[in-house]
Structure 1
Amino acid sequence: MRYGIAVTALIAGVLAGCQMPAERGTDDVNVGEDCIETRCVTAYHRDAAPYWTTQNQRFCPSSASLEVWGTEPESAYRVVYTKGQFSKSGLDGAAAKALPAEFFNAPLAELTYYSFTAGAGVQLAGMNAVEPAHIEGQRYEAFEVTGEAGHTVTLYRNAETGLHEWARVADGKGLDWMAHSFNPRYHPRLARMVPRKIDVFDVRQGIAAKKLLVEFDYIDVK
């Protein structure tokens, strides 16, 4: 929506309940009782100024799905990730070219789904323990998930706190991203802690040289 301009006004408007009209999710996504619907302020970082926007994200662990929808100046849009299958509508051609390259492509959808759900303590199927890792001075237990979209997904659980704090997606072709979920808060309906912040990094040059790509600030979680 804006490239580094009037960021404070954008966030204040969102917190006050001001929303752009957005295309709602449709019935082809199974919305169960375990679904978590969120509204977030999102920043896509580029070489110049960040691209700030707001969007809705709905996580449904029972159907292993993530649905994202919102409205950009060019068009309303909708993204669906379900069990490794990815689709996007409403942002094509010139509209897509006006947005950051990382604007909810398949790797970002998969990484966001696993980062949020694992960070919320959801028991995910198909987790296989692999070699533990150290990330920024902390010891983590590591679990690999078969990436049905052709990606390798690794989840990292803090060995001291027991919280899943990091997720990593790689495609074997040069893409290597990590997401850090943090600022957990208690969710009364789900009776669990859920992350209120996720930062996504490019770690192709190593974790020590990680480059911030995307920030999700979850201001409303239902």
Structure 2
Amino acid sequence: MEMIYLGGKGSGRRDLSDARAKSPVTQSRKPEVPPEDRERHTAAMVFGRALFELALEPIDLADADQVKERFYTFLDMCDREGLRPMVTGLAMAFGMTRQQLCYIGRGDTSTLSTKLTAKSRDAVKKAYEFMQVNWEINLQAEKGNPVKWIVLGKNYYGIKDQTEQIVTRRDETAALPSPEETAAKYAGLVGRPVPEAIPAEVVSVEPVDGA
């Protein structure tokens, strides 16, 4: 005998759709990651692994040609994964810290003084200057909130919020009238002639014995 089960109200069967929707297990599931975010995350992971492997093969920082070649390799890696070059990544590619790269880029000659030559130091400095130009381009092209680029500018390139104040000092005593002008003013008010100044007589006094 064939049994036919009817759905809907009065059928005796429970509708589990609402129960599944209200289940904590169902509600705790994370939403699907947008494809563009997943691609960006994958590119960052691939780039990070490649940069890690590159950093394990240090270059001779005294050789300007090796410094330039490592800089070009770093840029090619960024371009291949569609990522913007950043100062921290470049420093890692060079085998130095971000602080060291920034010091060298700003003209400090004491940083890594035993490893860099004049030519290789100039190559590192030029690479740092390129990164600053790239930062300015990204800042100008930003159509949203530029705060993130301003923060990077402060951290990497020493950009400061600066307000100049000009302080002027006035000599108030220069505006006061001379004693002669004051005497003439008040003498005219009372109808009297201006008194003549009597020159002071300097008298020398001999010291008294025992004083």
Does the alignment reach a TM-score above 0.5? no
Larger helix percent: 2
Query: Which structure has more RCO (C-alpha within 8 Å, separation ≥ 6)?
Result: 1
TM range, smaller chain = under 0.3
TM-score (norm 1): 0.24
Larger strand percent: 1
Bigger CA radius of gyration: 2
